[in-house]
Structure 1
Amino acid sequence: MAENASLLVELLTEELPPKALRQLGDAFAQGLVAELRAQGFASPDAPYTAYASPRRLAVLVKEVAAQAPDREIVVKGPSVKAGLDADGRPTPALLGFARKQGVAVEALERMQDGKHEVFAYRRSERGARLAEFLTGALEAALKRLPIPKMMRWGAGDAEFVRPVRGFVALHGEAVVPCSVLGLAAGRSTLGHRFLSTGPIELVRADDYEAVLEREGKVIASFERRLERIKQGLAAAAGDAQIAADEALYTEVTALVEWPAVYEGHFDAGFLEVPQECLMLTMRQNQKYFPLVGRDGRLLNRFLLVSNMQVDDPAEIVHGNERVLRARLSDAKFFYDQDRKQPLQSLVPQLAQVVYHNKLGSQLQRVERIEALASAIAGLLNADRSLAARAARLAKADLLTGMVGEFPELQGIMGQYYARHDGEPETVAAAIEAHYRPRFAGDALPGDAVGDSVALADKLDTLIGIWGIGLAPTGDKDPFALRRAALGVLRILVEHELPLDVVELLQAAHRQFPAGTLAEATVGEVHAFMLDRLRSYLRERGFKADEIEAVLAHQPTRIDDLVPRLEAVQRFRALPEADSLAAANKRIRNILKKAEVVERAPKAELMREAAEQALFDTLLSLGPQIENHMQDRRYTEALSTLAGARNAVDRFFDEVMVMTEDAAVRDNRLALLAALDRLMNRVADISRLAA
């Protein structure tokens, strides 16, 4: 076995779970490489390549040693003070330590351990051979794989996500004599299930990828397969656009080892069905790639990725077209059947659908959302009757055949069916929009009616689920309360809605029968939303101290936050900002330690010119700042505040606040309290102090 050479490890398996394949491949490679590096077989920056295909996980690590370097091991024992008695003779503690190490006391040495001198035994340990080490390293790497459920196969007790049929371990050109999962290492692997003719003997570890591709018709690299699929799809699509997300590309890459892209067609008559239904069944059930024109409308063409590259793909294409025709026929059947009864007729049936056993039926939920949406629409000067109607119909499509088959289409199908029923377009649009935003970056509702229903739906979820004790814990959030909270915040902030979030929460709370929810629910949900708000604002580019400065007053008008934050950003760029922030922090500390009576400062009690100057500055700037605040001109308010810097600096340079004269002292504290209130009208600028 070569002293330093590439190490190849491959597990040949039955078809692995496609949605987990990429993660499994990366985790397996990272786990094994970490073990090799930890024991010195590979350097900390040793390059490696992870491979993952439907039937294999593999890793190739460069410059792996045949034997780990010898290690010096130091075992620390008792302190010198505890190891020797007053006469310098070994104590039982030291004798026991030496006996445990198998040496005489004289073989021990003294060393410094922090503040104490201790006895220690230093020995050299021979580095393990790769063959001795690899089995344990593989077992450790496999244990750390993110596999929720294991399976057993055959008569053995080996466990893995799928049965493992082969195991390759090559160091350079030599097989590493080891075993894992009941299999002894070898150099033989298998290629493509249909395009390869038999076992492939690997001569050198470094040739793995090239040999497997040439002889086995397998592209082992996940990334290379993904790139080939994307290129093939783009070429086949031509002028059309591919309607697919990255998840579909990734899943299809995990299903094939030798990808080939083919084009199929379906009857244009199916385009009468809403395109969301057709695209969903193509993507979700068949893993096909729908094509849309430049106008965004679905074409009756689709692309498929096959695991078979053949000269004449007609049979493959026709077979897939036949399967898709059956799927689309099912979708058309659901669509036709659903339209035979109006949405309104389904609403009473929601009484038979349990929302939550502590919160009633879906009909009771709809009635709560209806009342709340109407109230919110009134606050927004929107049409209350349209908001109420949209809320009334918002959950009716849950009882349709199409949504029963494809839950992802809830709201979307409601919109189509509402249009078919002759409902106003505003109502139809709001039925779809009330689920928005469904995910990060999703579009928000398009008008005030949509906003009203979306807010009502999310507020009902937040207050109701939280109020019965089902708040999120750790990474568990089964009712998606974090998403609901972020949705409310995004709508309020990005649509600049002049609504008080606490009043909204209270209104949602009132929709539930007395005693249903915990009393502290509104306050707890508000705090939860402010915490989500911090994350949202950081993602928008605001700094943590700017956010804390604005949130210090527990704001309830969420639409006000971004203008205040933008004003704070501009303020801190001013030359006066640092001085005023530091002064405000100093004022806070003084006021915190003193007993301040709420009263206005009096000019007749001012003894120093500096305090009179500060008082005059407050009288001058105060009304200007208040006018700016009333008009939400926060940048102008803080710019005006910057004009107080000289008076503030002079006050602290020349005035002793805590003077012995109680009346003068209290007046100066009142002056500082007034200054503190003025300084913090926009935000708590003391939070900006370094």
Structure 2
Amino acid sequence: MPELLIELLTEEIPARMQARAAEDLCRLAAGAFAPLIQGPPRGFHGPRRIGLVAEMALSAETPAREERGPRIGAPEQALAGFLRKHEARREMLVERNGFLVLVKPGETVTAEALLHRALPELLWSFPWPKSMRWGLSHFTWVRPLQRILCLLDGRPVPVALARGEDAAHGIVAGAETEGHRVHAPGSFAVASAADHAARLRERFVILDAAERAAMIREGVARLAAAEGLEVVPDEGLLAEVAGLVEWPVPLLGSIDDAFMDLPAEVMRTSMRVNQRYFALRRPDGRPANRFALVANIAAADGGRALVAGNERVLRARLSDARFFWDQDRKHRLEEFLPKLDGVTFHAKLGTQGQRVERIARLAGYLAPMVGADPALAERAARLCKADLASGMVGEFPELQGIMGGHYARHQGEDPRVAEAIAQHYRPLGPNDDVPREPVAVAVALADKLDQLAGFFAVGEKPTGSGDPYALRRAGIGVVRIIRENGLRLPLAPVLTHALLGDVSARPVDLTHSLLASIAATLMLPLVKLEAALEAAGAAPRPLEAEFPFDAAEINREVRGFLLDRLRVQLRAEGLRHDVVAAATGEDDDITRILARAEALKSLVESDTGANLLSAWKRAQNILRAEEKKDGPHDGPVEEAALAAPEEQALNAALAKAEAESRACLAREDFAGAMAALAALRAPTDAFFEKILVNDPAFRKNRLRLLSRLRAAMDAVADLSKIEA
């Protein structure tokens, strides 16, 4: 099959855009060249180029197709517009079912003609996140486009980028590309994709991004190991650096000992954010006074001048970090708090200072539930956002929370308070650990639950196309903290507290409307009156004081959102979606839901469980039909009216199973409850095999027996969700 090779050579493309651009190019090409392209294109990307390789037929016959036009008798303007759109004449139309229809015959499409027609349009409409214009053309690209390589079956296809009246951009595709700017400047021709990659390698360009990343990973690790060190893992930085260099040359530099007393996170962040350096550490985890950089050239002096220059730059960067570190430690965290009153968290949710007060109240409420000291939890929560006003976090926002923990330790706070401040944003991603210490758990949960409650209350909920406030991440964090710490935390009362505060502590007569009336009478802003009352200990200021909302509805929505995150996790772990739905039901205790799901999974995967569920569905179908006539049939079973041995046996088995199941459920032994129900299989099978439920003489009592069977099983899980 003939091969298509396209390469777009530009000035340096931002590393964060390269991989997505290569994906977009492949996706758009697959659509634009659909009649001829065979299989998905394979993309490549680097600092100066994106491109693709694909198999492509040289020509193909397209099938005939029809285009329905206006109705017969439609105005002439509509008909003229349709003909103009399709470049057709009136005699080419046929009448069919009241409409004029244009029958387009099949045609032979050649690859070269398709490229000439479709490739310029693809490039003109390419979806870069940001783009620019240069020269006199209206063409836009992420950076000035310098050259187009387009080879089909080894021959160049001279596609012209200019279109219409915009002829200023004179690039015409050819067979040439360019190597490394320094080591191999100038253009050269290639004959195929394999030749392209090989000849670029000869000219100091590694085309494949994964290969560049592997060279960097292995090269830096080798240099570090030679000095008895190891690289601090950072896949994000690795991918970025692989997008900055065409010919990776790892080098090691030194850090002045004067900076080694800075927190490791400060040094790593400064090196990563400002210079794209890799941090190294000793085998015991302590930071090493060495760093790794990746050059884009193989210098004649082995990189000594490059290393010396980068060491000078790093000294300046770390000197800045040293200044912020020293200045921030002159203040206690409490001294930063007043500044938070001037920082808006959200227009409808007040300032960061107001949010801190809500988090502190909620952390104190949560503390006993997670085994934490309420006073320490409130203290940590009150200080957890203080470092947002510090100089270091102002310079490096990535260090928020982490610096607060360092400053808390410096000023002598309880180690549990410092740990809670440092960890309250966790988990930040799927591979990040969750807080384990109870005080840290209480503060992390309070932070995330306040975030969820607040944004749901003001209507800022995630949508299918966006989640600007990272609420899904917050929800997943709540679920992971509860799961991985095995917490017993019913969500409904916790969210009520997040939304309404401690209702029992509020003066009954100081409602929001009454406060507003008092404020108007005194000619005071409402917020000042509420703040004064709160300062006097008379009026806590919950979320509802900021704006009106339906607390019960928001509570329900947030619980549903959190349980949806749990369901997504369980399905990703391989649990059947119907088992997840059945185990969740109306419960909001995540730990209990997990235990029920595991027990239900074991039941439905067994032959006994499958047959028992079949019996439940049969009972449910009978009851649903009969209850429409004269139901419900949930009264007590009259044992004296149980005439047949099979119904007597089922009734006796139900009595035993109900007692055992209730006892198991009381101690949340869901596996035991399921096992007790599994014992009903044999008597249930016999009942349905021998008994006519709708026998007029026994119908009412037998329906009650089936209702009892259904209720016993529904008490364990919502079996209506289980699919056959």
* TM-score (normalizing by structure 2): 0.84
Per-residue CA deviation, residues 312-370 of structure 1 (Å, 9 max, x unaligned), is 11110001111111111111111111111111222233222222222222222111111
Q: How does 1:243-254 map to 2 (within 5 A)?
A: 243-254=232-243
CA distance in 2, matches of 1:54, 1:612: 80
Amino acid at match of 1:167: I
1:592 and 2:628 matched: no
Alignment check: 8 A CA contact 2:124 2:139 kept:
no
Contact in 2 for aligned 1:459/1:505 (Cα 8 Å): yes
Match of 2:668 in 1: 632
Relative to structure 2, which stretch is displaced further, 407-416 or 179-188? 179-188
Among 546, 565, 569, the alignment partner of 2:579 is 546
Query: In 2, Cα distance between the equivalents of 1:170 and 1:647?
Result: 75
Q: Is contact 2:120–2:159 with CA below 8 Å preserved after alignment? A: no
Q: Counterparts in 2 of 1:40-51, with a 5 A limit? A: 40=36, 42-44=37-39, 49-51=42-44
SS of the equivalent of 1:151 reads coil
Give the C-alpha shift of residue 218 in structure 1.
Answer: 1.9
In the TM superposition, 1:15-414 aligns within 5 A as 15-36=12-33, 38-40=34-36, 42-44=37-39, 49-62=42-55, 64-65=56-57, 67-75=58-66, 123-128=105-110, 130=112, 132-142=113-123, 145-180=126-161, 182=169, 183-202=171-190, 206-214=194-202, 216-238=203-225, 239-312=228-301, 313-414=303-404
How many residue pairs match? The answer is 649
Q: Which amino acid aligns with 1:240?
A: L
The 1:373–1:419 alpha-carbon spacing in structure 2 relative to 1, beyond 3 Å, is same
| Cα deviation, residue 582, structure 1 | 1.2
Query: Secondary structure, in 3 states, of the residue corresponding to 2:291?
Result: strand
Local SS of the residue matching 1:127: strand
Deviation of 1:237 after TM superposition, in Å, equals 1.7
Q: CA deviation at 1:393?
A: 0.9
Paired residues of 2:563 and 2:588 also in contact (CA < 8 A): no
Q: Name the amino acid aligned to 2:684.
A: V
Contact preservation (8 Å) 2:344, 2:351: yes
Tell me if the contact between 1:439 and 1:483 (Cα under 8 Å) persists in the aligned partners.
yes
Query: Residue 51 of structure 2 aligns to which amino acid in structure 1?
Result: A
Contact 1:252 1:305 in 2 (8 A): yes
Q: Tell me the residue number matched to 2:516.
A: none
2:444 and 2:103 map into 1 onto residues whose CA distance is 70
Distance in 2 between the 1:560 and 1:154 partners? 66
In structure 2, which of residues 594, 599, 603 is the aligned counterpart of residue 571 of structure 1? Answer: 603
State the shift of 1:420 in Å: 0.5
Task: Call closer, same or farther: CA 1:526–1:331 in 2, change over 3 Å.
Answer: same
Which position in structure 2 is the counterpart of 1:466?
A: 456
Contact 2:93 2:101 in 1 (8 A): no
Q: Percent identity?
A: 38
Q: Which residue is 2:637 aligned to? A: 601
* Residues 1:261 and 1:77: Cα distance change in structure 2 (over 3 Å): closer
SS of aligned partner of 1:482: helix
Q: How does 1:489-638 map to 2 (within 5 A)?
A: 489-511=479-501, 512-514=542-544, 516-519=547-550, 520-552=553-585, 554-593=586-625, 594=627, 595-596=631-632, 598-638=634-674
Question: Once the 2 structures are TM-superposed, how far is the Cα of residue 119 of structure 1 from its aligned partner?
Answer: 11
Which of 9, 17, 21 is equivalent to 1:12? 9
Bigger mean CA offset, 332-341 vs 50-59: 50-59
Shift of the 665–174 alpha-carbon distance from structure 1 to 2, 3 Å rule, reads: closer
In 1: Cα distance, 2:125 partner to 2:592 partner:
47
- Give the superposition deviation at 1:684: 2.4
Alpha-carbon deviation of 1:417? Answer: 0.6
Q: Distance in 2 between matches of 1:681 and 1:494?
A: 27
Corresponding residue for 1:475?
A: 465
CA distance in 1 between partners of 2:111 and 2:604 (Å):
61
**What are the ranges of 5 or more consecutive residues in structure 1 without an aligned counterpart?**
83-96
Q: Deviations over 1:468-491 (max 9, x none)?
A: 111112231111111111111122
Unaligned runs of 5+ in 2: 73-85, 163-168, 502-541
1:51/1:222 contact within 8 Å kept: yes
How far off its partner does 1:140 sit? 4.6
